[in-house]
Amino acid sequence: MADNNQNPHECPDTGHEWDGIRELTNPPPRWWSIALYLSGLLVLVYFILYPSLPLINDSTKGILGWTMIKEYKEDLAKVEARRAPFEDKLAEMSAQEILEDEELRNYAIGSSKVLYGDNCAACHGTGGIPNEGAGYPILADDDWLYGGSIETIMETLASGRQGMMPAHRAMLTDEEVDGLVQFVVNSSNGEATEAGWQLYNSKGCVACHGADAKGVRQMGSANLTDRIWRFSGEPDEIRHTILHGVNDASNPETRVAVMPGWNEKLAVKLDAQKWDEEPEYDGTETERLSETDIKKLAVYVHQLGGGE
């Protein structure tokens, strides 16, 4: 009311009054009126320059021709142009060569953060540490079910993994199950007894988990002598795994532990390379991630857990 110096008791009012407060007819301050008119003009200018009014199937374009999608695509093109020299180099190099090149290794790790977040973090967690008891391997340690070489990690990403442990509920007595549960607990603490080893060997556990109970990488079997648990180290959870197995289709209570393959075409290629053969494709292979993406993720995972 700075522009109106009239005595409020002498100003006309609208006849409205609330709690003793009269509504006067004084005009608003001049600066406020000017700001109101300028804001209206600004809206009009915006309508002319930018997309604004919705139509049935589209909207007005504006004389500048600007859209958020257009700006996004322009910015993306700039990013891709900046990345192109690195991506071209990665496409021609092996994962091992990328590891040995500091500049490209750093680029692969940096550019894989989004790839990992979009495709891996849902199971393996941020930073390679899944929720406790989730049943997904930790990627941020140096304990590897199938091996931690860069080539093996690539194979895992491309082909996927699906280990298998048969359910033993029909093969073991309650007493034997209790003994094996105790053996696993004791082994993880470095306190396995002779009786435990005898039971372990006599019930065939040695065939999959090895003579030293440290697992067999070709099979992806767990190391029973450390304190790293795929599912849980609680006795009841160990008992459940022994009784119902892992990925045992004959048991409805089995634990499910499957990693999908992310590039079947690359998986065929990697498999053929083992035997110095030409890869044979049948045309149905899927490529959820490109070969270059697989390489970058392999480098990323390798550095997460001290790969071999």
Please tell me whether residue 161 adopts helix, strand or coil conformation.
strand
Burial letters 66-96, b for 16+ CB under 10 A, else e: eeeeeeeeeeeeeeeeeeeebeebbeebebe
The pLDDT, as a whole number, for residue 4 is 52
Q: Which residues are annotated as a binding site for heme c?
A: 120, 123-124, 165, 205, 208-209, 259
Q: Where are the beta strands (DSSP E) in the chain?
A: 13-18, 21-24
The model's pTM: 0.78
Mean pLDDT by 10 residues, the chain (308 residues): 56 83 86 96 94 87 91 95 96 95 96 94 93 88 92 96 94 96 96 96 96 94 92 94 96 94 95 91 93 97 88
* Partners of 165 in the β-ladder: 246
| Sign of torsion over alpha carbons 208, 211, 213, 214 | negative
How far the first Cα of the chain sits from its last, in Å, is 77
The pLDDT, as a whole number, for residue 1 is 45
Helix, strand, coil shares, percent, the chain, to 5: 50, 5, 45
The pLDDT, as a whole number, for residue 5 is 55
Q: Which residues are annotated as a binding site?
A: 120, 123-124, 165, 205, 208-209, 259
Q: Report how far apart, in Å, the C-alpha atoms of 252 and of each of 139, 171, 180, 225 are.
A: 28, 17, 22, 28
What is the CA 68 to chain-centroid distance, rounded? 27
